[in-house]
Structure 1
Amino acid sequence: MAPNALMIGTAAAVLLSYWFNHLSRSYRVPSVMLLLLAGVLVRVATHAYHATVALPQALISTLGTAGLVLIVLEGALDLRLDLGRRRFLLSTFGAAALGVGLTTVALGVMMSAVFGLPMPLALLAGAPFGVISSSVAIPTSEMLNRDEREFVIYESSWSDILGVMLFNALLVASMGGTVALHLIGGGFAVLALGVAVALGVYWLVGNLEGNVKFIPVLSALILVYALADAMHLSPLLIVLILGLTLNNSQLLHGIRWLRWMHNDALESELERLKHLTAELTFFVRTFFFLLLGYTTDITTLVDPHAWLYAIVIVVLVFALRWPALRLTTGPGKRQALWIAPRGLITATLFFSLPTRVSTLLPSATLVLVVLITGVVMSLGLKLEERGALGST
C-alpha cells in the first residue's frame, strides 16, 4: 500500500470515528457498531475492486490487548474510592461475578451438548461471551446519570478482570491443571504485583522530569501486562489497581511510610495522563473495530447457523443478566440491565481459544454477537428513556 494512501486512510478513519462518537450520543447507537459496519463496507468495496488486503490475525489481537489495557485504565482513572461505600463495591463485584459465572456455565452446558465437548473445553468456549465489554459499556455509560454510569464502569471493569481470570483458569484446566488453585494462587500473585506496580508508577508520575514521561510509563504497564498474561495470570487487575491508586492518592496519605512518595505536582500530571489515555484509547478502539469488521467476510454474515448461535448466545446473556442484577443490586438498575455488550474483550479472548474450539462456531458468530448485543442495548436504553419521559 502506498504511503500516501495509508496516511489518507488512517486520517479518514480517525475523523470518521470521531463523527461516529457524536452520532452515538445523539441516537444512542454504540459507536463500535458503526465502526464494525464501516469496516465491513470497506471490505465489500475493496473486494469489488480486487484490492482486498490480507491482515494478520496477530494485528487484531495485539490491538485488542492494547485497547483493553487502555480502556480499563481510563475507566479506573475516573473512579473515586470512599471507604464508606463497601456495599456499592461489593454489589458491583457481585453483579459482575454472578453475570460472568452464570453466562459461562449456561453457554458451556449448551456447547457441551451441541458439540460434544468435555466440560472444561465447553466452559472455555463459553467464557469469552460471558464477559461484559468495558470498551463498549464505558463509552455508552456517558449517556446515563452519574450513579448509573459509576455502576456500569465498576461492573464492566470487574467483569473484564474476572472474565480474564476465569478464562485463564479454564485454559489451564483444559491442559490438565486445577481451576481453583490457579484462580486463588494467581489472584494473590497478581494482587501483590499490582500493588508494587501501582506504587512505582505513583512515584514516577509525580517525579519524572522532561516533556516525555507518560508514553514510557504506559509502555512499562503494557510490558508488565504482557508478562503477567504470558504466565496466565489476570493482568487487568494490575491495570485497575494502578488507576485506582493514582486517582485516589488521598488514601495513601494516611500511611506514614508512604508519605515520602507524594509530590505536589501529582494532581496536574494526573490530568495530563487522563487526557493522553483517553486519546490513545479512542485511537486504538477505532482501528480495532474497523479492522475486525474489515477481516469479516461478508458472505459469512448470511450464514443461518451463525445467526442461530449468535441469537441463542444473546438471549442467554440478557436472560441471565436480570437475575444477576436483581440478586446483587435490587430492582433499581433498570438502565444497567440493558448494558451487557460484547466487544473488544470478547474478541480478544475468542482469538485466544485453541483452534479446535474456536473453529466449532461459524466464523461470523463473534461479529454478530457484538452487533446484536449493541442493537439490544441501544433499543433497551431508548425504551427506558421513553418510559421515563412518559412517567413525568
Structure 2
Amino acid sequence: MEIFSSYNLIIEISVVIILSFIFNGIAKRTNIPAVLMLIILGIILQYVIKAFNADSIDFFPMLEVLGIVGLIMIVLEAALELKLKSDKLMPILKSMAIALIGLVASTFIAAVILKALIDGMTMQSAWLYATPLSILSSAIIIPSVSSLNEAKKEFHVYESTFSDILGIMLFYFLTGRLNPAEDSGVGGFFLNLILTIVISLVASYAIILIFQKIKSQVKLFLLIAVLLLLYGLGKKMHLSSLIIILIFGLVIANMKLFFQGSLRQYLDFEKAKSIYHELHVITAETAFVVRTLFFVIFGVTIVLSSLLSLKVTLISILILISIYAIRYGLLRLFMGKDIFPQLFIAPRGLITVLLFYAIPAEATIEGFEPGILLFVIIGTSLVMTGGMIRDKKMNLQQGLGTTPVTDTIEETEYFINNATDLSELDGDASAGEHDIK
C-alpha cells in the first residue's frame, strides 16, 4: 500500500494534473479530446496499481464526490459564459429544442435496443439505463469547441448545458417513479421545477447583494461553499438542484438584465462585476482539476474485458447509430445544411458515468455490461475527434484558397491611411472591444 502513502499521493496527483495540462495542449493541436487521454492514463495506472498489489481500494466514493463537484463546476462555468440578449433568443431556443428532442428520442431508441437485447430488462429499467447514454457531455464539449466560430461555439455551449440539466432532471424523474409512495407524477414534477426556479432566483439575488458588501479577500471559496451547500440541501429536498447553479450563473453573468428598475439601486455593479470575473477564473481552474481527477479515476476502475463481448459491441454500435441518425435529422430540421462539425460533436462523459452509478439497486439489471458505457463514451469521443480534424482541414483549405495574405495587408493599409486620426482608430477599437464584451 506504499504507493498511496501521503507523500506519494501528493506526487501522483501533481503529476496527473501536469499531464492533464499537457494533454489539453495536445488536444488543441490534434483535436483528440483530452478526456480520452485521461481515461487511457487511468487504464495505465490501473495496471501499475495491480503491479503493486494495491488494487483492493474502493474508488467509487471518491469518483462519486468528484463527479458531483465537477458537474456543479462545469454547469457554473457554462452559465457564466451565457449572455442573455435579444439577438441570442432564437439560438438559445433552437439549442434547447435540439437538446430536449434529441435527449428524449435517443433515450427512447436506446431503451428499445436495451430491452430487446438484454435478458431481464424491463422498459422502466431500460429507460433508466438509456438516459445516461443519451446525455451530451459539456465536460468534453465546452473545452473542445473553442476553435469553432462564435455561432457554432455558442450553439454547443447552450446545447450541452441544456442536455446536462434536462438529462439529469429526466433521470431523477424516472428514479422517483420507482417508488409509488414518493412519485408525485408529472404535475408534481413541474411544481417542483417552478419551486426550484423561484428559490434559485431569490438565492441568487441574495448571494450577489450580500457578497458585494463583503470586504474580505478570501470570499470566493466561501461563495462556492454556499453554492455547494444550496446544491446539497436542494438534493435533500428533492429539488432540481442543478437549476440553482445554472440560474445563479445566469444572474451574475447578466446582472444588468436581472437588476432593473428599483433593484438597480441596490447593486454595486463594479464590485459585483469583480466577483463575476474572479469567480469565472476560479470556476474554470476548479473544473479543470476535478475533471482531470474524475476521468483518471474512471480509467482506473474500467474493466477492459467487458469490451471483448460480442453482445456489448452489437448493442453499443446500434446505440451509436441511433445517436447520430437522430442528431442528423434534428440538425437538418433546425439548422439547415450547415451541420458540420456539429453532427459529430455528441460525446458522452462525466454525467453518463455519474448517473450510471446512481441507478437505484431496485432497478439494477445484472445482464447489463458496463462495457456498453465505456464503448459509447470512447466511440462518441472518437467520432468527435474525426469530425473536428475534418473541419479543421476544410477550414485551412478554404482559408488558403480565399484569403490571401496580400489582400489582408492591403485592406489593413487602406483602413489606416483613410482613418482621419488616431482618435478615430481608438474609437473604433474601443467600440469593437465593447461589442466583444
TM bin, normalised by shorter chain, reads: over 0.9
The aligned residue for residue 41 of structure 1 is 44
Amino acid at match of 2:44: L
Matched-pair contact (CA < 8 Å) for 1:131–1:159: yes
**Deviation of 1:280 (Å):** 0.5
Aligned to 1:156: 160
1:289 to 295, 318, 323: 295
- In the TM superposition, what are the counterparts of 1:69-80 in structure 2 within 5 Å? 69-80=72-83
1:224-303 mapped onto 2 (5 Å cutoff): 224-303=230-309
Match 1:110 to one of 109, 113, 125: 113
SS class of match (2:99): helix
1:166-198 CA distances to partner (integer Å, 9 max, x unpaired)?
A: 111111122233552243122112111211221
- Look up the SS of the partner of 1:332 in the other structure: coil
Change (3 A) 1:192 1:108: same
Q: Match of 1:145?
A: 149
Name the structure 2 match of 1:315.
321
- Tell me which of 66, 69, 75 is aligned to 1:66: 69
**Contact 1:168 / 1:233 at 8 angstroms: preserved in 2?**
no
Aligned residues with identical type, % of pairs:
29
Question: Could you state the TM-score of these two structures normalised by the residue count of structure 1?
Answer: 0.94
Is 1:100 the counterpart of 2:107? The answer is no
Moved more, 38-47 or 308-317: 308-317
State the SS of the aligned residue for 1:80. Answer: coil
Based on CA coordinates, which of the two structures has the bigger radius of gyration?
A: 2
Deviates more, 1:36-45 or 1:232-241: 232-241
1:18-58 Cα deviation digits (max 9, x unpaired): 00000110100110110001000111122134233513412
TM-score, length-scaled by structure 2: 0.85
Aligned pairs (5 A) from 1:168-187: 168-176=172-180, 177=183, 179-187=185-193
Preserved CA contact (<8 Å) 1:120 1:173: no
Alignment of 1:370 onto 2:380: no
**Bigger mean CA offset, 103-112 vs 26-35:** 103-112
Larger CA deviation: 293-302 vs 270-279: 293-302
- Determine if the alignment matches structure 1 residue 15 to structure 2 residue 18: yes
Paired position in structure 1 for 2:210: 204
Q: Which residue pairs with 2:427 in the alignment?
A: none
**Amino acid of the residue matched to residue 240 of structure 1?**
L
Judged with a 3 Å threshold, the aligned counterparts in structure 2 of structure 1 residues 50 and 281 are, in CA distance, closer, same or farther, namely same
Tell me the residue number matched to 1:32: 35
Change (3 A) 1:208 1:306: farther
Partners of 1:160 and 1:236 within 8 A in 2: no
CA contact (8 A) 2:121 2:365 kept: no
In the alignment, the residues of structure 1 paired with residue 258 and residue 235 of structure 2 have an alpha-carbon distance, to the nearest angstrom, of: 28
d(CA) in 2 for partners of 1:69, 1:360: 32
Q: 1:26 to 1:182 in 2, by over 3 A?
A: farther
1:390 deviates by 4.0
Count matched residues. Answer: 392
- Is 1:126 the counterpart of 2:130? The answer is yes
Q: Aligned Cα RMSD in Å?
A: 1.8
Query: For residues 232 and 129 of structure 1, do their structure 2 counterparts lie closer, same or farther at Cα, with a shift above 3 Å needed?
Result: farther
> Matches of 1:234 and 1:203 in 2, distance apart?
24
Question: 1:111 offset after TM fit, Å?
Answer: 2.0
The AA in structure 2 aligned to 1:378 is T
What SS is found at the alignment partner of 1:313?
helix
State the Cα distance separating 1:131 from its structure 2 match: 0.7
1:203-223 CA distances to partner (integer Å, 9 max, x unpaired)?
Answer: 234222212111111111112
In the alignment, structure 1 residue 357 sits paired with structure 2 residue 364: yes
- Mapped to 2, the partners of 1:216 and 1:279 lie a distance apart of 16
Instruction: After superposition, give the CA deviation of every residue in 1:301-351 in whole Å (9 maximum; x if it has no partner).
Output: 433333333222222211211112222333333222211110011111111
Aligned 8 A contact 1:148 1:333 in 2: no
Q: State the SS of the aligned residue for 1:207.
A: coil
> Runs of 5+ in structure 2 lacking a partner?
402-437
Change (3 A) 1:141 1:188: same
